Amino acid sequence: MTEKRSEAFKELQPTLDQYAGVKGSLITILQKAQEIYGYLSKDCINHIADATGIKPAKIYGVATFYAQFRLEPIGKYLLMMCQGTACHVNGSEAIYETVCEELGIVDGETTEDNIFTINNVACLGCCSLAPVMMVRSTDGDETYGNLTKDSVRAILKEIAARG
């Protein structure tokens, strides 16, 4: 393991130490790495492999199997578009299409300016507010409910103005 890589992933070291030799802890380690770095880079996967003795191919296999993991960086604002039953019945598809039109991207993509990334999710658990969108950033999560095409456009403009 290179010293440079160790330095780059020093925030992850306490987690690696905590789960050293603990069978079945790979997902927990990957979740923490993604929480810290925003996504699982090739270098991060290789660092985890070196630290745990798990082959990089196996780690990559786990990371690509579960939808929760990202292998590419995301925008400053992650738009999680609920597609659960209540949201679907209340027009989430039209809201999603409006967001896509406004930003010029689709599910899983990031705007060229790295401000927004869109992800469709199964359920956000806010069914009484359907249709719902959650916006995740370093400032925390914001939930927007009872969305309309006009309200979601206004929300996107307001978020974009934050920079």
Q: Mind listing the pLDDT tens digit for each residue in 49-81?
A: 999 999 999 999 999 998 789 998 999 999 999
Predicted TM-score (pTM) of this structure: 0.76
Rg (CA), the chain: 18
pLDDT tens digits, 67-117: 789 998 999 999 999 999 999 999 999 999 999 999 999 998 999 999 999
C-beta of residue 99 within 8 angstroms of C-beta of residue 149 = no
> In this structure, are 88 and 141 located in the same domain?
yes
- Of 65, 100, 118, which marks where a domain is finished? 65
> In this structure, are 98 and 156 located in the same domain?
yes
- Confirm whether 48 is domain-assigned: yes
Based on the structure, what is the number of domains in the chain? 2
